[in-house]
Structure 1
Amino acid sequence: MTLKALGAAASILALAHTPPAIAQTSEAEDLAARFGARPTVLDISLSPSGAQIAYITSDNGTAELLYTIDLNGTAEPRLLSTLNEPDAELTECNWANEQWLVCEIIGFARVDGSTPIYYSRMLSIPAVEGEDPQLLTSRRSSRSYGIMQDGGSVVSLDVEGEENRILMTRQFLEEDTRGTRLANTDPGLGVEMVDVSRNRRRTVESPDEFASAYIADDNGEIRLKIRRLRNNVGRLTGETEYYYREAGSNRWNAFEGDLSGFRPIAVDAASNSAFGFQSRNGFDALYRVPLDGSATPELVLARDDVDVDGLIRIGRQQRVVGVTYATEKRQVEYFDPDLERLAGQLQDALPGNPLIGIADASADENTLLVVASSDVDPGMTYLLELDSMSMSPVLPFRDHVSELPMAPMRAITFPAADGTEIPGYLTMPTGAEGPIGAVVMPHGGPGARDEWGFDWMVQFLAARGYAVLQPNFRGSAGYGEDWFGRNGFQAWETAVGDVNDAGRWLVSEGIADPERLGVVGWSYGGYAALQSQVLNPDLYQAVVGIAPVTDLDLLVEQARAYTNFQVVRRFVGDGPHVDEGSPAENAESFQSPVLLFHGTDDINVDHEQSRRMENRLQNAGADVTYVEFDGYDHYLDHGEVRRDMLLAIDSFLAEHLGD
């Protein structure tokens, strides 16, 4: 089996929607505009026949645009819909059938004018002319109590024998019973069968007040239910229960006993089993459990160095075809030998040995949407026809930077002060030799990790001449329970100590000039960047915090209005580490200049965290600059906002880390 016609049908790419051109100005402004721009492709999907593609792009600002391409026609992109709302974003679209797309909108609002929340809404959008979009989210009754944040999610795109119908969740709200016997008195999450063309619906799964998700098998039968428990005042306890059904049954059974820690995420109808994760020797491993009441788990894949953390699923039925985990690079092991062979052939055929992913598939899985990306390639989508083994490029994920040279990223380890080897990734400017200006960039989370691949901020800094080291400090996810430890807040000295040891290693290796060393972080990474001054105030000459946590006690207090308050409080914990681990409570330790950024609509980390940090640093006589972006959330996902932020960081680093 060989691959043919790779790159031969570039007409699809040439006809694809092109975002607005970026004006040529200074080198720094040009690079900031290009790397800060929103992706060309925000989401992409393939129709059941494989004859149409839908993709979401943007105007680089607040508008999202939904296009379709008829692959059997002119391949001319056709604009279906535009969402231009500053407080809402079109995030995802999937094909219900050849005529209708099911799309999700995520919006931002304030309850009673103060408490910020996200909400979702589902729409069906016609792919053919002459039909109007439908709001699939059930409308809130005037009798309802509470707020409908959850607008539903797709449980199955295919319901056997039911044309134009999908299964989707519904948040049922309790209703006022005065004057009627028809009011709903059973709140919670249920499932409805919804006609996407006429918005007719009927309940197929009664609401459960603790349910957070339902999972169907590849035949469209609901087989799993996930329940997140709450206390008597409606706050999450942190406990999660998982239930399953045997095929054809309406009875829910709990995973318990030896399976009490099993976290199912998919059901394979053919083998009548659930795939999920469970801890094994301190690392997450993939198990398969028969759904026949025998509760006998089968180990599918485990490792003794990293967590096995993902399933690979393809097609409309989300067929399970493999498992994934990250070592130095993201790895995929396919259960399907044909797909394993295909992935290897694609890696060999495409330049740079990229990571290969399957973004979508036709109903018969003969036509695949393939994504190839790497550290120096933000990603290209290809259309692959398996019967002819021909492949054509479709759309680049970041067309703004496609012609720019990129700096390669390589996996490294460095020793912490206690001798522990800390993994990370080093990106050197092309052709550079040390010692040069360098930046340590801790990731967010803290329950996250960096991986090998394209990073727009890393590439911008490298293009501006800085070496960038991303440490997966202790407290990061993906390396097992011991590595995560008590998390990066409760064990902040260990996590931040590793971040600072990353800077020392850059100097000891002759990569970084000790007088030109900075630290830049976002979210928890911003916290770690600031807290690095508390441990070692003379290590970094410039500190940048983007949407940082600065006061742990305030972080807990700001969660009080939400259902996850108890979860946040337990995660942060009690004790001396709360004050000692809060940069805002230790502003007198700071010696280096600080640059802060925050959006006023940030729900993840309230902007008051940065305002408090600015105030405390000013009172301590420290050098601090705070840039606030009005109306933007935690991710600052706007081309001009990110451009301005990158330019400000570039000027700040040039001033304090310059030659």
Structure 2
Amino acid sequence: MKRILWLIAFMFVQLPNIIQANSLPVDAFASLPDVSFVTLSPDGTKIASLIRINSDTVDGQILGIRDINTNKDIFPVQTDNQKFVILSLTWANNDIVLIKAKYPAIRRGVPTTETRLMKYSLSDDKISSVFSKRTFSRFQFVPQIQSSIIDYLENDPDHILMEISGLGSQAQYESVVQVSLKSGGIKQKQYAEKYIEDWITDRQHQVRIGIYRDDTSYRIYEQQKANGDLRLLWEFEAFDENAIWPMGFDHDPNILYVSAYHQGLKAIFKVNLTDPDLTKELVYQNENYDVEGQLIYSKLKQKVIGIDTNIEGEFLFWDQDYIKLNNGLNQVLPESHNVINQLSDDERRYLVYSTGPIESGTYFYGDRDKGELYPIAYRYSQLTPEVLSKPKKVNYNARDGLAIEAFLTTPKNTEAKHLPTIIFPHGGPISYDSTSFDYWAQFFANRGYAVLQMNFRGSAGYGYQFMTSGLKNWGLEMQNDVEDGAHWLIEQGITDPKRICIVGASYGGYAALMGVAKTPDLYRCAISVAGVTDLEYLIKSSRRYDNSKIVKKQIGDDYDDLYQRSPISKAASIKVPVLLIHGTKDRVVKVDHSEEMYDELKGLNKAVKYVELENGDHYLSNNEHRLTTFIEIERFLATHIGVK
């Protein structure tokens, strides 16, 4: 017990003394997480994580590995999150940690995001690419994506299966290769097939499912073994209600779990592939929301034991042993959503991630033999439950009668009456907000603002009709849903109508700018972080990417109409101050969107400020960029709707 608890103090961060719920430093909210990607070795004796560091010489993140038995710590990798950003950590075996990273690049004049997979070997104390340099002599080109692991071979811990392009006569499509974690050499297991962009293996590690896409058309193929005859299982169009997506296999190689719509909502089914009718057997549904997520498979029991539903981070188990374990955790940690995100191979040791509306995230190490559970790391060390504001679910009707679910966060210990307010639509837009911890909303509430986050039509999680009602609807009813939320707050007496600002990032930035353009008298200011400002340019610039027709199906292809539904076309209507923030190496929404919007507003003598983040990406992955963004936002809000 002492050994584990010492891990908190040395390797991670100490739990601070309870802080009064006064205004906290900006970096308490805006900094990257103190700890992330905490992962357990297969034998349960080592813990790896990504740790934020900030010193006079280093500002970024480092990989930390702690040996629980020896109390030894090593820190073999660091990044400033500009040259590359670490996306995930996983253990390939008890000796090797796999590190997935991304970095911005340009291919033939097209901005891209490249990914790579590195490995760190504890026994060799060496970090390198999983692929040897000699391996790429077999490739026709250097692949953009070099990080897609599709199978860990538990009976062969020295190899993994990956999918990668660049090989064979169909080099632009994905092959499956067996990669040696010792030599970096590869052995091709599945040859690339035209238009198949993803492969799925069964529990016996055979390549069984191929996912085909040609423009907006999808097909799901099955084969008995790699390079076998492909059998068509299902075909459908993007955004169709009859879509059936494979999730993975049970131990039985004929039982495939799939995600499909049931009574208008996504649910989990299993299909026996020997059944000529491919009958779907319902496994799990939620009567109110879509069910999405990943299968939870027990290697020890050799069966699927549940699913990670992705609803508030909840796991659903249908195996009694794990139901008991999960119930025990919920009794010990009753106010949180507790996710068993990893088990050792013998399933006696495990990691739990606990989060919730006012729980910013705590990692626990559990030992089932000892019946003990220890906190080992705090995701945001300064953001304890005592300083956070609890959001609550609210509902309002849009002007056409559609019910909208939203989440209201108000300043702690403050009456929810006539408050300065942030309208905060999410990005995506096929995404959703919930009562889960949100560092943006908590920051605003800590500064004295009420925050409304609404799941406008087009958001995910509410079924097929709700999601598809957002297709080609940017700036129309989707925008009305956001505006109607602002009016509802005013009607309820929660918001001071003279101190209301609309803020958003990505699609949310688009909605913020459209809000002040379409309803110039409703808001007192707008903030767009990496926001879309020109839909016509967005569609035209997608031509160089292979998902361009899906983008058109989602947003539209009538250029005149798209331009009219763009903030840049309505700049003259904007009467309030605007803050634009954008990274120069944003590969999702190009920096041109904010640059051109700034030029347009400035040319019209509008009140606008533009903050450009040098080498910044779409996700504020660099700590300095995130701090700069929050500092600028705080100043801007204080100036225009500041707390009295």
When normalised by structure 1's length, the TM-score is 0.89
Separation (CA, whole Å) in 2 of partners of 1:271 and 1:147: 34
Separation (CA, whole Å) in 1 of partners of 2:101 and 2:407: 35
Is 2:221 the counterpart of 1:243? yes
Equivalent position to 1:481, from 457, 464, 486: 464
Structure 2 residue aligned with 1:181 = none
> Relative to structure 1, is the Cα distance of residues 115 and 185 closer, same or farther in structure 2, using a 3 angstrom cutoff?
closer
Is 2:327 the counterpart of 1:340? no
Offset at residue 256 of structure 1 (A): 2.7
Is 2:65 the counterpart of 1:65? no
Contact 2:153/2:205 (<8 A) preserved: yes
Equivalent position to 2:629, from 616, 634, 645: 645
Is 2:268 the counterpart of 1:286? yes
Is 2:139 the counterpart of 1:156? no
Is 2:190 the counterpart of 1:205? yes
SS of alignment partner, residue 338 of structure 1: helix
Equivalent position to 2:78, from 79, 82, 92: 82
Is 2:43 the counterpart of 1:14? no
Contact 1:123/1:137 (<8 A) preserved: no
Is 2:405 the counterpart of 1:427? no
> Relative to structure 1, is the Cα distance of residues 130 and 372 closer, same or farther in structure 2, using a 3 angstrom cutoff?
closer
Separation (CA, whole Å) in 1 of partners of 2:493 and 2:3: 46
Structure 2 residue aligned with 1:580 = 564
Offset at residue 247 of structure 1 (A): 7.2
Structure 2 residue aligned with 1:622 = 606
Structure 2 residue aligned with 1:109 = 105
**Residues 562-581 of structure 1 correspond to what in structure 2 (within 5 A)?**
562-575=545-558, 577-581=561-565
Structure 1 residue aligned with 2:380 = 398
Offset at residue 135 of structure 1 (A): 3.2
Offset at residue 480 of structure 1 (A): 1.2
Offset at residue 260 of structure 1 (A): 6.7
Deviates more, 1:431-440 or 1:285-294: 285-294
Offset at residue 635 of structure 1 (A): 1.0
Q: Partner amino acid for 1:361? A: L
Contact 2:203/2:253 (<8 A) preserved: no
Q: Partner amino acid for 1:71? A: I
SS of alignment partner, residue 286 of structure 1: strand
Offset at residue 486 of structure 1 (A): 4.0
Contact 1:435/1:510 (<8 A) preserved: yes
Offset at residue 314 of structure 1 (A): 5.2
Structure 1 residue aligned with 2:538 = 555
> Relative to structure 1, is the Cα distance of residues 247 and 367 closer, same or farther in structure 2, using a 3 angstrom cutoff?
farther
Structure 2 residue aligned with 1:253 = 231
Separation (CA, whole Å) in 1 of partners of 2:299 and 2:626: 35
Contact 2:162/2:177 (<8 A) preserved: yes
SS of alignment partner, residue 346 of structure 1: helix
Contact 2:396/2:488 (<8 A) preserved: yes
Contact 1:121/1:137 (<8 A) preserved: no
Offset at residue 602 of structure 1 (A): 0.7
What per-residue deviation string (whole Å, max 9, x for no partner) do you get for residues 549-572 of structure 1? Answer: 111101111212222222222322
Separation (CA, whole Å) in 2 of partners of 1:360 and 1:281: 33
Q: Partner amino acid for 1:198? A: S
Contact 2:208/2:226 (<8 A) preserved: no
Structure 2 residue aligned with 1:308 = 291
Offset at residue 137 of structure 1 (A): 6.8
Structure 2 residue aligned with 1:267 = 249
Separation (CA, whole Å) in 2 of partners of 1:146 and 1:418: 53
| Structure 1: 5+ residue stretches without partners | 175-183, 230-236
Separation (CA, whole Å) in 1 of partners of 2:402 and 2:481: 9
Contact 1:137/1:170 (<8 A) preserved: no
Structure 2 residue aligned with 1:125 = 120
Q: Partner amino acid for 1:634? A: H
Is 2:209 the counterpart of 1:224? yes
| Structure 2: 5+ residue stretches without partners | none
Structure 1 residue aligned with 2:50 = 56
Aligned residues, how many?
A: 627
Offset at residue 404 of structure 1 (A): 6.4
Contact 1:497/1:535 (<8 A) preserved: no
Offset at residue 454 of structure 1 (A): 0.9
Q: Partner amino acid for 1:242? A: I
Offset at residue 335 of structure 1 (A): 1.7
Separation (CA, whole Å) in 1 of partners of 2:26 and 2:127: 40
Equivalent position to 1:499, from 468, 482, 503: 482
Q: Partner amino acid for 1:418? A: D
Q: Partner amino acid for 2:162? A: M
Separation (CA, whole Å) in 2 of partners of 1:449 and 1:368: 29
Contact 2:43/2:344 (<8 A) preserved: yes
Separation (CA, whole Å) in 2 of partners of 1:163 and 1:591: 62
Separation (CA, whole Å) in 1 of partners of 2:270 and 2:210: 17
Structure 1 residue aligned with 2:585 = 601
Structure 2 residue aligned with 1:36 = 30
Q: Partner amino acid for 2:67? A: D
SS of alignment partner, residue 216 of structure 2: strand
Offset at residue 225 of structure 1 (A): 1.9
Separation (CA, whole Å) in 1 of partners of 2:235 and 2:139: 39
Contact 1:382/1:392 (<8 A) preserved: yes
Separation (CA, whole Å) in 2 of partners of 1:280 and 1:138: 48
What per-residue deviation string (whole Å, max 9, x for no partner) do you get for residues 367-418 of structure 1? Answer: 1111110111111111111223211111112224348611111111112222
Q: Partner amino acid for 2:401? A: G
> Relative to structure 1, is the Cα distance of residues 137 and 519 closer, same or farther in structure 2, using a 3 angstrom cutoff?
farther
Deviates more, 1:535-544 or 1:244-253: 244-253
Is 2:88 the counterpart of 1:92? yes
Contact 1:172/1:207 (<8 A) preserved: no
> Relative to structure 1, is the Cα distance of residues 248 and 588 closer, same or farther in structure 2, using a 3 angstrom cutoff?
closer
Offset at residue 615 of structure 1 (A): 1.8
Structure 1 residue aligned with 2:449 = 466
Separation (CA, whole Å) in 1 of partners of 2:314 and 2:38: 23
SS of alignment partner, residue 25 of structure 2: helix
SS of alignment partner, residue 636 of structure 1: coil
Contact 2:135/2:185 (<8 A) preserved: no
User: How well do the aligned residues superpose, as a CA RMSD in angstroms?
Assistant: 2.8
Separation (CA, whole Å) in 2 of partners of 1:316 and 1:562: 39
> Relative to structure 1, is the Cα distance of residues 366 and 270 closer, same or farther in structure 2, using a 3 angstrom cutoff?
farther
Q: Partner amino acid for 1:225? A: G
Offset at residue 316 of structure 1 (A): 6.7
Q: Partner amino acid for 1:469? A: L
Separation (CA, whole Å) in 2 of partners of 1:620 and 1:420: 37
Q: Partner amino acid for 2:99? A: C
When normalised by structure 2's length, the TM-score is 0.91
Is 2:180 the counterpart of 1:195? yes
Separation (CA, whole Å) in 1 of partners of 2:601 and 2:115: 38
Offset at residue 315 of structure 1 (A): 6.0
Separation (CA, whole Å) in 1 of partners of 2:462 and 2:420: 30
SS of alignment partner, residue 629 of structure 2: helix
SS of alignment partner, residue 477 of structure 1: coil
Offset at residue 122 of structure 1 (A): 1.5
Contact 2:96/2:119 (<8 A) preserved: yes
Structure 2 residue aligned with 1:655 = 639
> Relative to structure 1, is the Cα distance of residues 45 and 194 closer, same or farther in structure 2, using a 3 angstrom cutoff?
same
> Relative to structure 1, is the Cα distance of residues 400 and 431 closer, same or farther in structure 2, using a 3 angstrom cutoff?
closer
Q: Partner amino acid for 1:484? A: M
Deviates more, 1:529-538 or 1:59-68: 59-68
Is 2:428 the counterpart of 1:445? yes
Structure 2 residue aligned with 1:409 = 391
SS of alignment partner, residue 59 of structure 1: strand
SS of alignment partner, residue 94 of structure 1: strand
